[in-house]
Amino acid sequence: MSNRMLALSLALAAVIGGSLAHVQPALAQAGATAAIAAPDALIKTLSEDVLAAIRKDPTLQAGDVARLNALVDEKILPYVNFEKMTRLAVGRGWREASTEQRQALTREFRSLLVRTYAGAVSAAKDYQVQMKPFRADPSETDVTVRTQAVPARGDPIQLDYRMEKTGSGWKIYDVNVLGVWLVENYRNTFNAEISRGGIDGLIKSLVERNRALEGKAS
């Protein structure tokens, strides 16, 4: 498994695949809620809880897509802005998309992330996440939280998160892995798909890629 694949699985586990059942109680006991938690504190809590969930759940270690999707639906939506992530990845084509097309793009992109990295999640159990110093003015509404995934042996892997402050709290909308931002990486591919077949062409391509990944998993 390449370092980039492993790093993406770690980052995306924190974004889309982890059990956050203990996040709210832990923050509540500290006299806070997820909605008002500092961005670095939220990432730290999510990362630790995600890795703990992976270590104790054999189905997550096996990359069970249904399990990952269930956890996304139940737990993760309050913490990640999937629509913004998709909008930024699609780029200028987003403005041309109808409401139905935007919904399809967001749905298929999220599914693609889950399916692409599900098989790599098992390796995450052998890593620890370390927070890097975080400095931001209290008035800032868009920040980057920097971390690294540290293996028992080998070099640390850079994992950074772009987050925005919304009315419902801080939300993740992009992930930097080994110096490459997830949104930018996908935008190059998506722009090429849109140039060839428009928004519907991109949606069709995402659907086909998800079907192909589903077939490999079955």
Domains delineated in the chain: 3-217 (3.10.450.710)
* Element (DSSP H or E) covering residue 52: helix 39-56
Number of H helices, E strands in the chain: 9, 5
Which phi and psi angles does 154 have, rounded to 5°?
A: 105, 180
72 and 166 Cβ atoms separated by less than 8 Å = no
Sequence letter at residue 119: G
pTM: 0.78
113 and 80 Cβ atoms separated by less than 8 Å = no
170 and 43 Cβ atoms separated by less than 8 Å = no
Summarize pLDDT for 108-147 with one digit per residue, the tens: 998 888 777 665 565 666 778 889 999 999 899 999 999 9
> Looking at residues 83-109, what average pLDDT do you find?
96
Summarize pLDDT for 22-76 with one digit per residue, the tens: 333 443 343 344 445 789 988 888 777 777 777 788 887 777 877 766 665 665 6
> For residues 118 and 209, which has the higher predicted lDDT (pLDDT)?
209
The token duo for 63 is 């990359």
